[in-house]
Structure 1
Amino acid sequence: MEENDATSGVPAEPPVAPGSMRPRGRTALIIAAAALLGISAGTAVGYGIQAERPPTPLPALSQAELAYPAKPLPAGKVPPPLPASQDHQVRTDGDLRKLLLDRPAGWSEDKDADWLNDGWMTVGDLARGYKDEGHMLEYFLESDIRRVAGAAWKKGEHRQATITLVQFSAGVEVMAEDYAAGQRSYMAGDDYAGNEGDLVKGSGEGRYYIYDVDREPGYLPSYQARAVMHRGDIMIEIDLYDTRPISKKDIRTLAERQLERV
């Protein structure tokens, strides 16, 4: 599948920041548990806190003074171009799927992840991960979303992992930051992780969270961990699901390794 840019121009004001996401990987985990115990479950979603945040103004489209010299520098004083490994724009303008973390040893591809097509995810499928998908689709389009890459893995009988890289168009990097901040804003609520999480090293404000175990009589226990961060114009989300405990090291290691790739 070829790269798909879904752009609509820079908005005059940033749209209302998004609400919370339905955990995609957990669906298959619940189905697997249902085969043993007849479990069915759902997720409550809300976005009131983030919707009340004041809009973040976009940077000015023009400046009074130019940041580069009026005359070209002499040949001997022109700095060499950055290598591709250090030039963030060169790295992120290529195949976004190549910035996804390599599948760790012991994991296999989750072939039940029908929301992925050759490592790509449509904007519509991303919006359908939210309860208010109409609002989210409008948010993404107004935010000048560019493309979404993803991965889904499984390990053993019940452990699952999903990674999504949501990239916004060049010049509106504030959208990736705002999107990530919106997702983190509700995580301390009792209906979600119930805690402030821990900082992901080197990510600025990126955090990872361990949810309290979800137990109900007759059901397998449900464990979940999540990491939300951004770098440049890319918002990064990682989710882990299992019927056995997930350690902080498990989610932290994936988050740090993924951040290094972007």
Structure 2
Amino acid sequence: MEHEQPPRAPRRRGRTTALIATALVLGALAGTVTGYAIQYGRKPTPLPPLAQQKPGTPKAQAPNDATTVKSINANRWHKTDDDLTKLLVDAPAGAKVEADGYETIDFFATGFKEPDNALRGYLKDGIRRVATRAWRQGDVVVEVRLVQFRDFSGADGYQRGQAEYMPDKEYAGNGGAVVPGVGPGLGHVWVDSEAQEKPGYYPVRAGRALVRRGDVVLDIHYFDTRGGKIDEGDVLDLAKRQLERL
């Protein structure tokens, strides 16, 4: 009996298409889609309780009018359980912030080649929420996402699955660089070896950073909309500054 091949991780759209999708994200997060305003106003979804308490730790309290999700789970609360948008790195001085808020999961899935499959897969993996900040500075457009899952395995699968195809020619076309201090299996940065050219569009060059910390994956997309050179150090520095806030 032949072994079944594991499903391939959802792949992001090509650079030019991704940049068009970025424009949609900027518009949607700026408020043109009312559903995002509703999503932004929701309280963070509580994580499921631990299967077993560690000996000596306080038991979870039953909720009442005086308790909150945080007080019930005080022994394991982390700042990433609060509003993720408050942890997003600030845009640089002089940049125009185009978007700041939560993406709905179905809209997040539209950034992949097969949106329906991506949506089903990530819901199955326990995706919880996606916080995004995007800005524009000259010819550069940057998206910073914090993609949170309900547990480690979902975040690990997302980070590894996305990193796996980045060296392909259609994407970065190279092995990229390890993010210092987090190890090769947890953080990587890539800058496209070549700009992508498509009839009717300016050439586009992109950089990307993927770093996992616990149940959150930092996913940065960095575009030069005229195909100019992107300094790997700029993408790496942005990733480091975001990590410091998690």
Both structures adopt the same fold (TM-score exceeding 0.5) = yes
Matched, 1:94 2:58: no
| Between structures 1 and 2, the one with greater helix share | 2
Contact kept, 8 Å, 2:208 with 2:219, in 1: the verdict is yes
Query: Which of 103, 108, 129 is the matching residue for 1:126?
Result: 108
Contact kept, 8 Å, 1:29 with 1:241, in 2: the verdict is no
Query: Which of 16, 20, 23 is the matching residue for 1:27?
Result: 20
> How far apart are the structure 2 equivalents of 1:220 and 1:62?
53
> How far apart are the structure 2 equivalents of 1:123 and 1:210?
26
Query: Which of 152, 163, 166 is the matching residue for 1:187?
Result: 166
Which position in structure 2 is the counterpart of 1:104? Answer: 92
User: What's the offset of the Cα at 1:110?
Assistant: 2.1
Query: Which of 195, 199, 208 is the matching residue for 1:213?
Result: 195
Against the structure 1 CA distance between its residues 175 and 69, is the aligned structure 2 distance closer, same or farther, given a 3 Å change threshold?
A: same
Partner SS for 1:185: helix
Partner SS for 2:165: coil
Query: Which of 194, 210, 225 is the matching residue for 1:228?
Result: 210
Query: Which of 215, 223, 229 is the matching residue for 1:245?
Result: 229
Structure number with greater CO (CA < 8 Å, separation at least 6) is 1
Instruction: Give the TM-score normalised by the residue count of structure 1.
Output: 0.66
Partner SS for 1:176: helix
Residue identity matched to 2:94: G
**Identity of aligned pairs, percent?**
37
Structure 2: where are the runs of 5+ without partners? 1-5, 25-49, 58-74
> How far apart are the structure 2 equivalents of 1:187 and 1:196?
8
**Greater Cα radius of gyration, structure 1 or 2:** 1
Against the structure 1 CA distance between its residues 28 and 177, is the aligned structure 2 distance closer, same or farther, given a 3 Å change threshold?
A: closer
Instruction: Give the TM-score normalised by the residue count of structure 2.
Output: 0.70
Structure 1: where are the runs of 5+ without partners? 1-14, 32-60, 71-86, 112-117
Contact kept, 8 Å, 1:25 with 1:162, in 2: the verdict is no
Matched, 1:260 2:241: no
User: What's the offset of the Cα at 1:254?
Assistant: 0.6
User: What's the offset of the Cα at 1:203?
Assistant: 2.7
Partner SS for 1:165: strand
Which position in structure 2 is the counterpart of 1:200? Answer: 179
RMSD: 3.1
> How far apart are the structure 2 equivalents of 1:145 and 1:217?
36
Deviations 1:222-253 (A, max 9, x none): 21111111111111110111122111111111
